Amino acid sequence: MVKPLVFIFLSAFAFSLFAVQPDSCSSPMRRFCFKEGDSFISFGSGLYGLVNAVPRKHAVLQDFKSVGVPPLFFRYEKAISDYIGLGGTVFFHLPAFMWNKTVDVYNNETWTYEPVVYAEKYSGLSLALLGRMNFHFATTRNRDTYIGLGAGYEFYMMNFQSDDPLATSRVPNRPLPFSGELIFGYRNYFSDNTAFYAEIGYGKMLLNIGLTIALGS
């Protein structure tokens, strides 16, 4: 799933950079694409942060792959000034990760340890509602960069399955039902009110890509 998403991201990013901007975006009346009073909605997906799914202390993973539903989210933002936007994010994900684990098992017949491969899987549900504040800078008529900081509540449930008869049930270490994010984002408008955007950083997803629609004042 990683390679197709990266290809889509790079293609859309290149298209947005070289796309012919509409006349309204170049109008002298529109100096900035982010200004006080404007509202924005965003839809997107991306690459999920595996730190929320698989413990760092797990044994070496083989044939690791993601087989779940890609993460989906909806975001709203309101510009309270020409530089700061406040809003929130609704995030939904059905993660599922599979891998093989090799364990040396003692064979009573041969009196030796032999490698045995066991299939394991993490799957579950992640649903989050996060507040977000974005600081916008270097904004032009059709390009917008920003840094975002968010925090909120996350309902997170995972189920572990293993073919290893000695494996015990475990869940990711999540003592508190909270989630946070710190990201760097970029928007590029390719029509009067629609932009391609991308975000990278720490949080629900390592890479977010999608569309932003400007609703105006």
- pLDDT tens-digit readout, 165-182: 887 766 666 667 888 889
Which of 54-58, 111-115, 149-153 has the weakest average pLDDT? Answer: 54-58
The CATH code of domain 2-58+65-95+124-216 reads: 2.40.160.20
- Domain range list for the chain: 2-58+65-95+124-216
- Please give the pLDDT value at position 187: 96
Cα(83)–Cα(212) distance, integer angstroms: 17
What does the pLDDT read at residue 9? 46
Which residues contact residue 185 at a Cβ distance below 8 angstroms, ignoring those fewer than 6 apart? Answer: 134, 145, 146, 147, 148, 197, 198, 199, 208
Averaged pLDDT for residues 21-35: 58
* 3, pLDDT greater than 50: no
- What does the pLDDT read at residue 57? 47
Residue 59 has pLDDT above 60, yes or no: no
Burial of 37 by CB count in 10 Å (0-12 exposed, 13-18 middle, 19+ buried)?
Answer: exposed
pLDDT of residue 15 exceeding 60: no
Distance CA 106, CA 56 (A): 27
Confidence of residue 152 (pLDDT cuts 50, 70, 90): very high
